[in-house]
Amino acid sequence: MAKPQRRVLIAGGGIGGLSASIALARYGIETTVLERSSFAEETGAGIQLGPNATRLLRALGVLDAIEQAAFEPEAVWVFDGLSGRRLAIVPLGPEAEEHYGAPYLTLHRADLHAALLAVARQLALVEIRPNFEIARFEADEETVAVGTAGGSSIEGSSLVGADGLWSAARKWIAPDARLRFTGGTACRALLSVNGLQGVFGEPIVGLWLGPGSHLVHYPVRGGKALNVVAVIDSGSETQGWNQAADPDALRAGFTHWCKDSKSLLEQAEGWRLWSLYRLRPLGHWSRGPTTLLGDAAHPVLPFLAQGAALAIEDAVALAASLAANRDNAAEAFLGYETLRRRRTTRVQRVSRRFGWLYHLRGPARLARNFALARRDATTALDRLDWLYGERTLS
Ligand SMILES: Cc1cc2nc3c(=O)[nH]c(=O)nc-3n(C[C@H](O)[C@H](O)[C@H](O)COP(=O)(O)OP(=O)(O)OC[C@H]3O[C@@H](n4cnc5c(N)ncnc54)[C@H](O)[C@@H]3O)c2cc1C
């Protein structure tokens, strides 16, 4: 029989890794989080957190810590990007909070990350090691060891690979898995809300759909800044979250768009891009006492805004599974993987489909707009129950 859990190693101190360390500490399980960065840089931009994520953040004691930095939008307004016509409204704010028992929030990724880090640092069972970039993995049935290229190493009884989209742990657990560039690019910028006019000053998430491109904007930093994300079906492959984007190449994707949406693109400066990748669902996420979570296990395209939420859900599910089977991490991880696979695959599939719907052209675009405009706003939240109403984990 395997030995009970001693120390769980977590590769990556991003959203999922820190959530997992907090969730495991609630069951009395010790973790060491190994993060390659020094945590000093504030990278990334806006993130949306549906009630499926905020419900779990509340249970982890993190929701209060993001309250000041987060914004609760009143609704999603969906527009046709060419005509500027509003097609649909999905209520959020108090209505969504009442429907789902948790709020829908928008915030800067750095603020969510800082809150998770602050909560994790207060926990005696969580050790955090920055500047530890894992380059080597070894495991037998009872022990896992990881090391840096410089020769530092550390041992634990199991390992959770939460090292993001370009995961080194995934290469070790599923060496044949290949990220594939979709051909699309997301560009993001932050604007001060001072002086923003019309719809851009409204307390909403704006979603503008157009042929081969779409635009999303929402308030972050407690409402002081507007996060803008422009997605185009073109661009070249670039690794990382913080590459500078060429504004002219970006604006070329919006040439025939209405005046309002183009004016927003003109106002935003300092565009950063990230290339969009997809990964076929992995045959397995776990190998003995090692497993994956979040983007390392199942990266999602950003069109349902669920990347961070799925990582948080994984963290909570993994902790419950390991707590219920402390003597056997391999079995616990298989249980976790089985529990999570169906949902994460569904979210990956629906996100891809939404991206396709957002970018329709010609008559298909008109048919989509017609269907959206006919939808009954009063049942909009019911249609999202499968996504935001997930309660098996709370
Ligand atoms: C810097 C950054 C900026 C981002 N910006 C946005 C954004 O603006 N909008 C958005 O929607 N999503 C953004 N994302 C992605 C989003 O945060 C993730 O999709 C989501 O949170 C899933 O969480 P995760 O824990 O799986 O991965 P992440 O939150 O990406 O965390 C992975 C962590 O692992 C660390 N890591 C990677 N390799 C190693 C290694 N070999 N050894 C040790 N540590 C390692 C990384 O430094 C990172 O901290 C960003 C991610 C990062 C890392």
Reported as a single tens digit per residue, the pLDDT across 270-296 is: 899 999 999 999 999 999 999 999 999
Burial class (CB in 10 A: 0-12, 13-18, 19+), 179: middle
Rounded to an integer, what distance in angstroms lies between the CA atom of residue 277 and that of residue 182? 5
Q: Which of 104, 218, 277, 358 is catalytic?
A: 218
Rounded to an integer, what distance in angstroms lies between the CA atom of residue 78 and that of residue 216? 9
Ligand 1 centroid to 174 CA: how many Å?
19
Say what percent of the chain tops pLDDT 70: 98
Question: Residue 358 catalytic?
Answer: no
| Rounded average pLDDT over 40-64 | 91
Rounded to an integer, what distance in angstroms lies between the CA atom of residue 257 and that of residue 218? 19
Kindly report which listed range (199-213, 223-237, 332-346, 352-366) carries the lowest average pLDDT score. 223-237
Strand partners, 79: 86, 208
Strands of 140-224 (E only): list them.
Answer: 144-148, 153-156, 158-161, 180-192, 205-210, 213-220
Report yes or no: 343 and 292 within 8 Å, Cβ to Cβ: no
In the chain, domain spans: 7-179+279-388
A 10 A CB-CB count for 256 gives 11
For atom 37 of ligand 1, which residue has the closest CA? 163
Per-residue pLDDT at 376 = 80
pLDDT confidence tier of residue 375, bands split at 50, 70 and 90: confident
3-state secondary structure of 346: helix
pLDDT tens-digit map of 61-80: 999 999 889 999 999 999 99
Say what percent of the chain tops pLDDT 90: 80
> Which residues approach ligand 1 with their CB closer than 6 A?
11-17, 34-37, 43-45, 47, 109, 133-134, 162-164, 168, 188, 241, 294-296, 302, 307-308, 311
pTM for this entry: 0.95
> Which is the closest atom of ligand 1 to the Cα of 37?
47
pLDDT confidence tier of residue 377, bands split at 50, 70 and 90: confident
pLDDT confidence tier of residue 2, bands split at 50, 70 and 90: low
| Rounded average pLDDT over 25-41 | 94
**b/e code 303-333 from CB counts within 10 Å (16+ = b):** bbbbbbbbbbbbbbbbbbbbbebbebbbbbb
Mutate to test the pocket of ligand 1, among 22, 48, 295, 301 (most ligand atoms within 8 A of CB): 295
Per-residue pLDDT at 45 = 86
| Rounded average pLDDT over 195-208 | 92
> Which is the closest atom of ligand 1 to the Cα of 302?
11
Sheet with 144-148: list strands edge to edge: 134-139, 144-148, 153-156
> Which is the closest atom of ligand 1 to the Cα of 300?
19
Per-residue pLDDT at 369 = 95
> Which is the closest atom of ligand 1 to the Cα of 18?
25
For atom 14 of ligand 1, which residue has the closest CA? 44
Q: 7-179+279-388 has which fold?
A: FAD/NAD(P)-binding domain (3.50.50)
- Looking up tokens 């999922």 gives 16
Report whether pLDDT(258) > 80: yes
Per-residue pLDDT at 41 = 77
Mutate to test the pocket of ligand 1, among 109, 137, 279 (most ligand atoms within 8 A of CB): 109
Q: What is the dihedral of CA 259, 234, 210, 178, to 10 degrees?
A: -140
